[in-house]
Each structure stands twice: as structure tokens, then as C-alpha cells.
Amino acid sequence: WNASTDNVGVTGYEIYRGGTLVTTVTGTTHTDTGLSSNTAYTYTVRARDAAGNRSADSNSASATTSDGPGGGGNKVLGYFVQWGVYQRGYHVKNIDTSGSAAKMTHINYAFANTTGGRCTIGDSFADYEKSYSAAESVDGVADTWDQPLRGNFNQLRKLKKKYPNLKILFSIGGWTWSGGFTQAAANPTAFAESCYQMVEDPRWADVFDGIDIDWEYPNACGLTCDTSGFASFKNVMQAVRARFGQNNLVTAAITADGTNGGKIDAADYGGAAQYVDWYNVMTYDFFGAWAAQGPTAPHSPLTSYTGIPIAGFYSDNAIQKLKSKNIPASKLLLGIGFYGRGWTGVTQATPGGTATGPAPGTYEPGNEDYKVLKTRCPSTGTVAGTAYAFCGNQWWSYDTPATIGGKMTYSKNQGLGGAFFWELSGDTSNGELITALKNGLG
């Protein structure tokens, strides 16, 4: 709804369902949950001021829920990062021992590079050369010096043998390695052919069930800027689908910038949707300590809230924007971060405080795994469907099992295809977050 025109004294809005007060919110959106299937509901809103005075009822809005409980898909997809085998000490075996493999439907293996507008192996040692001992191996069998395939690819092969229904996609690009997509867009057919040859290399063709394109970002700026035009993403995805055919999965990780004229509007995601099995919508990293002085804000808000630093920078706005481009809800997966983003030099416990810079992180300033933050800086509050934590002079935001449960309810109510997360090594050793994700989707 629109904000009250007399908004000086307005402190919140009361949401009524069929004349019954449901909740009071400070923003101008509300996601209703716990509804019956195939049922019509009518809503009205009233503004309220600090003295408790209420406006007249707004005009009513009606909607009918879909048939069946939730109506959403239950894809549970997680990224496995090749560099996790180094400093992080996270190996394919950990996907099994944490209980995560049993709860996942898909794994995205990140990343291959886009050198010269072609798909190229990014780290051959981690991918297929590293030798695994019996203790580190999925099946307890050590690698030998003369076997044709070692590294993560061989461990993924062993994981698939143990979990035959698990599908694995090779992800191309990502934040660091998206630079070559500009050249790829100049010759999509050649790019698609190079990707097919890499993913379907005879040494590991059985490991992968498809390809995931992580272009950050078509016709917009990420680490570098691309100006290949509105149609470039659609053209690349069309070529990739044509080469990989219908028997392979073809997906893409895409921006969640749903602002008017923002990154979603910059490329033809609607037109490209016909060529993908689904989109992984990166509904995280909206805010972080790259804005060193703040204001502090949750990096993965589900909804808007009073004081949000950039209007429209929240997950639901991205999902609704993509739906408005005629992308089926079932082709959208909601993104969850298994990490937090934080600031230091903060004195305000609630969102919107000033800071002096990024909080210290194990691998990167302003970034820390959930498994560390849950005990080092436990959640002290929630905002916009996600959690935040204030400890000492640090302020962090991250998702917890409880907030993930809420987001999975949203995914089901929106009829989305499920959810995905970045990335496996951020979870606890017993897979606390992925358990919440799986249980939430059912």
C-alpha cells in the first residue's frame, strides 16, 4: 500500500484480514502466512499514530490462495566452492558427514572461468588433480598416483554413487570470473561449444548433469562493467540451451536488484527464461560494509522496512519484479546466505547505526561464516524477515534457522521452485541451516 499522506505522526500500519487484526508493521508491505489453500481472503489497512489514533479503513484488496499446501517446489540447491579445500578445509566428504547431501537435490560446483569468452577450467589442482587420502575420501578409499581422475570431481563422483538422486551442475563465472562473458556475448555459439566440451569432458562427463551460468552482470557492472546490450544474456542462454539440449540442466544465477532501471531491467531475463530450467535469484548482499560508515542494514532482507538505505533493495521486490516479466514462479529459487556481513565501530543495537568500517572476518573483512557468528555474535533481533546481532562494537546480519524457516514459508506461498544457498562451508558441522531449509520446504 501507499504510505499515509499524513505520515508525520504515523508510527505503523494495522493489517486486517476479513476485519480481524493480523499484525502491525512499520513499513508498507506485509506477507501473510499460514493460510488455507484455495481460499479467498480480503485485506484492509489502517494507519496508526503514536497516540493510538487510527485512520479509516483503506480500500480492500482480495486474493485467492493456490490449490494445495504452499504450492511451491522443494529444490534444495547449494554451492560447493572449489577453494574450500584449501584454507577452509571443507571437502566433498563434509557434504556427506554433515548430513547435507541427504537433504540436497542439487549442487552447483563453483567455478569455471570465462577466459577469452570461453569456458575454461579455473583451478585444475582442486578440480581434478588433488590426491585424497582414505580419511578425506567420501568412500574411505585413497587416491592412487596413476588413477585418471582425482580432486573434487572424483569425490563428487563418489558422492553421487552414494546419493544417486543428487544432481550436480558446473557453475561458470561468479563475481571474480565474469569478465569473459562480454566476449562470450559476441559469439554465443562458440562460447556454448567451449562450455559443452569442458562440462562433457570424457574424464568427468558422468559427474555433471548440466551447467549454471553465473554472469555478474549482463549489460551492467559487477567487478567489471559489461555493455553488450539488453539482448546479450538471452542470446547466450539460447546458445547454451541449444548446445546442451533438453537432457541437461541449464540454469543461471541472476541479480536481485529489482529497482526501477536496475540490474534486472538491464538484461532480458524474461526472454531468456524459456531457455533455463530455473534461475537462482541472489537475494543476499543487498547491504554490507562496502558502505564503510553504514548505515548498518541486513544483507538479506525479505521485505522492506522503515529506514532501509536503498528503497527496493529487498528479496520480495526482486521476486515480484521477475514475476512481472512473465517468468514462472516455479523457475525462481530464493537465495539464502550461509554467512553474515558486519561492521565495527557501531554503538546502535538496532539497524541504521553508523560505523567506522568492516568488522574483522576470518577470510575477508566484513564477512564471516554462520557457524562462527552463531556463537561469537549471537542474534539479538530480527528485521525484515532476517536476523541481526550486536556484540561489543560490532553489528552483523545473517540468517538463522528461525529466519530461514520464515523465508521457506515465503518461498512456498509464492509458488517458487525452492531455494538455494551460498555456500556449504558456512554451515555448522551438523548442517543446521540446511536442515532448516529442507524442513521449511518439506
**Alpha helices, DSSP H, located in 112-228:** 124, 151-162, 181-186, 188-199
Amino acid at 262: G
Give the closest residue to 68 by CA, choosing from 41, 97, 39.
Answer: 39
What is d(CA 334, CA 124) in angstroms, rounded to the nearest whole number? Answer: 31
Direct distance between the N- and C-terminal alpha carbons of the chain, in angstroms, rounded to an integer: 32
Supply 417's cell numbers: 521452485
Can you say whether residue 285 is alpha, beta or left, with left for phi > 0 and alpha for psi between -120 and 50 degrees?
left
DSSP result, 48-115: EETT--B-PPPPPEEEEPPSSSS----EEEEEEEGGGGTTT---HHHHHHTT-TTT-SEEEEEEEB-G
Name which of 439, 325, 307, 336 is nearest 397 in CA terms: 336
**Cell 567489471 found at:** 224
- The Cα-based distances of 12 to 8, 28, 61, 218, 381 in angstroms read 11, 9, 19, 39, 19
**Amino acid identity for residue 86 in this structure:** Y
Q: How far apart are CA 410 and CA 70, in angstroms?
A: 9
Residue 283 parent element (H or E): none
**What is the Cα–Cα distance from 272 to 233, expressed in whole angstroms?**
7
Question: 216 catalytic, yes or no?
Answer: yes
For residues 248 and 209, the answer to whether their CB atoms sit within 8 Å is yes
Indicate if the alpha-carbon torsion angle 49, 51, 56, 57 is positive or negative: positive
Whole-angstrom distance, CA of residue 202 vs CA of residue 211:
16
Of 216, 368, 423, 432, the active-site residue reads 216
Q: Which residues pair with 333 in a beta bridge?
A: 280, 418
Bridge partners of 363, per DSSP, are: none
Backbone angles phi, psi at 273, to 5 degrees: -60, -30
Q: Which residues are catalytic?
A: 216
